[in-house]
Chain A
Amino acid sequence: MPLSTTALIALLVIISLMLAAAVAWRAAHMRAPVDQVLTFGALILLPGFAMWASFTQHMASSETTRFCLSCHVMHNYGKSLYINDPSFIPAKHFQNHWVPQNKACFTCHTDYTMFGDYRAKLRGLRHVYVEYFGKVPSPNKIKLYTPYNNRECLHCHAGARNFEEAKGHHKKPGMMAAIQANRLSCLNSNCHEFIHDRTGIAQDPIWKGAAADAAANGLPKGVWK
C-alpha cells in the first residue's frame, strides 16, 4: 500500500524528533566535527524541512471543504450545498461533482489570477482570526469582499459546449461578449441568482442523500443534522 503524503511527513517529523532528542541527550558529550555536522542536520536541516513540509500539508488541508465548514458560522453554507433544488448553483455543482467535493469552497472562492490562491489563503487566515479572537458576524451579514467575478465561473465553463451554445446566453446580441468581459454578471443579472441560502435554509428541501454524502466527505455534523 503506498504511503500517503501525510504519513511521509509524519515519518520525517518522527525521524527529526528522534535525532533532536538524541542531541538533547548527548549534548554534554559532543565535541568532534562529526558531531557538529550531526547537530546541524538534527537541529537546522531536518526541523526546517519538517516545518516546510508540515506547512504545505496544512495549506493543502486549508483548501478542503471540511476545513472551511468546521467553523459554526459556516454550517448553513454547508447545508446549502445539499438543497434539493437544481436552481441553487452551489448545490447543483456540489451534488453533481462539477466541483471536487473535497475542495468545493476553495474551487469557487479562489481568484483565478496569478496570486489568487495566496489572496484566498490570506483572507482565510483573517477569517480564522475573527472566528477565535474577534467578533463573528451573523450569517446574513457575511458578504463577499468584491462582487463575484465571472472569471471564476468561466475558468471551467468557458469553451464548454453547454455553456457556449446555451440559448439563455444568446438572448440578446453581444450577451456572450458581455458575460466574458464580466460586464454582465452570471449571478447578479437574474440568471443564476440562487446561491447559498443562509437564512431560509430551514425551509429549503434537503437532498435525501445528504447525511450519507456529508459523512462520506467528513463534514461536521452541524452541516447535515
Chain B
Amino acid sequence: MSVAKSRLRWAALLICAGLIVFLATLFSVHPLYFIAYAMIGCPLVLLGMFFYLAALWADRKEKLEPESPSRRAG
C-alpha cells in the first residue's frame, strides 16, 4: 500500500476512534465525560484530519514524482 493510502487509512481509523468517544460521552451529564470528549475525542478527530491532509500531500507528491525504473519494469 502506498504512503498516501496508508495515511488515509490511519486518518479514517483515528476519526472512527474519536467519533466513538463522541458517541460514548454524548448522553452523559458529568464533568468526566466532558473531559473525555475534550481531551480524548477531539484530539483523535483532529489528528485524523491532520493525517488526511498528510495523505493528500503524499498523494500529490507521488503523482508528481517520476516512476522509478524498478517500478516501471515491474
Residues of A at under 8 Å CB distance from B?
A: 6, 9-10, 13-14, 16-17, 20-21, 23-24, 27-28, 30, 39, 42-44, 47-48, 50-51, 54-55, 57-58, 61-62, 64, 66-67, 70-71, 128, 131-132, 218
Q: Given A6-B27, A132-B31, A218-B29: A13 and B19 within 8 A (CB)?
A: yes
A128–B35 Cα distance when bound, in Å, is 8
B19 interface neighbour in A47, A66, A71, A131, Cβ under 8 Å: A47
When A and B form their complex, what is the total count of cross-chain residue pairs whose Cβ atoms lie within 8 Å? 104
Number of B interface residues in the complex (CB < 8 A): 33
Shortest CB-to-CB span from B7 to chain A, Å, is 9
> Known interface pairs A28-B1, A43-B15. Does A67 touch B29 (Cβ–Cβ under 8 Å)?
yes
Inter-chain CA distance A136–B26, complex, in Å, is 27
Which applies to chain B's interface (DSSP): helix, strand, loop or mixed?
Answer: helix
B residues within 8 A CB of A131?
31
Is B72 at the interface (CB under 8 A from chain A)? no
Q: Name the prevailing secondary structure of the A interface residues.
A: helix
Nearest chain B residue, comparing its CB with the CB of A40: B52
A–B pairs, 7, beta carbons within 8 Å: A13-B22, A27-B5, A28-B1, A43-B12, A47-B18, A47-B49, A54-B37
Whether the Cβ atoms of A44 and B52 lie closer than 8 Å is: yes
- B1-39 vs A, CB cutoff 8 Å, 1 = contact: the mask equals 100011011011101101110110111011111110110
Across-interface contacts of A10 in B (CB, < 8 A): 23, 26-27
Say yes or no for B42: interface residue by CB 8 A criterion.
Answer: yes
